[in-house]
Amino acid sequence: MDLIEITPASHGVELDLAYATADNFTGAPVYARAACYLHRAAEEKLRRAVDLAAAIGLRLRIFDAFRPAEAQWKLWHHTPDPEFLADPRRGSPHSRGVAVDLTLVDGDGRALEMGTPFDAFTPLSHHGNTQVAAEAQRNRLLLMGLMTAADWDFYRCEWWHYQLFNSRRYPLWSDSALPRPMMA
């Protein structure tokens, strides 16, 4: 299988998987089981980003990674907004296992200020938005620098979203691709 499980122990990251809880824009859990996976190619680049962040005393906190196609449909049915969600008919990089939503945390486990919360579907979440505080702009640029140095592409509308270049070349996967399902 090309999907590799990402855990705090195996990858030195924090997991705060928003869609496994009600603390997300839908107000309800989307995943029945909290788990984090990435395609093998993305997992290698995540390791590089973890190392780059660690070198400056920071860690990565992951909100979402592989998202089964069934979950993408649930999100789309709740909020069919193509600026912030991929139309599941075209497929999301998340459903290919080559996207990750994340932020930076300091040595005490406090998230760096990014100006908006994860999944704030507003122009304030766009990269380069100068209406957020200067500290948040710096932190977003720091995250972008770490991720792009690790060979990730960014999505201009979401400061938290990174994906592999040419993500459409990877296959779409449903929940059945996992050794243990994430969906109910």
- The catalytic residue among 5, 44, 70, 158 is 158
| pLDDT over 70 (residue 138) | yes
Over the range 32-42, which residues count as b (16 or more CB within 10 Å of their CB) and which as e? eeebbbbbebb
CATH number reported for the structural domain that contains residue 52 in this entry: 3.30.1380.10
Q: Is the pLDDT of residue 139 over 90?
A: yes
Please tell me the predicted confidence (pLDDT) of residue 88. 95
% pLDDT > 90, the chain: 99
- Is the pTM above the cut of 0.85? yes
For residues 74 and 30, the answer to whether their CB atoms sit within 8 Å is yes
Residue 129: pLDDT above 90?
yes
158 is catalytic: yes
Asked whether residue 183 is assigned to any structural domain, the reply reads: no
- Whole-angstrom Cα distance, residue 138 to residue 126? 14
Residue 110: CB partners within 8 Å, gap ≥ 6? none
pLDDT tens track for 55-91: 999 999 999 999 999 999 999 999 999 999 999 999 9
- Residue 10 pLDDT class (50, 70, 90 cuts): very high
CA-nearest of 90, 135, 131 to 112 is: 135
64 within some domain: yes
Q: In what order do the strands lie in the sheet with 59-64?
A: 14-15, 59-64, 99-105, 161-163, 153-154
Give whole-number Cα distances, 57 to 39, 60, 107, in Å: 26, 11, 6
* Position 13 pLDDT exceeds 80: yes
What phi and psi, each to the nearest 5 degrees, are found at residue 116? -145, 160
Number of domains in the chain: 1
Q: Is residue 67 domain-resident?
A: yes
- In this predicted structure, the answer to whether residue 141 has a pLDDT above a threshold of 70 is yes
Domain around 135:
3-177
Residue 32 forms part of a structural domain: yes
Residue 12 forms part of a structural domain: yes
Model confidence band, residue 1 (pLDDT cutoffs 50, 70, 90): low
Identify whether 184 is part of a domain. Answer: no
Reported confidence tier of residue 184, pLDDT bands at 50, 70, 90: confident
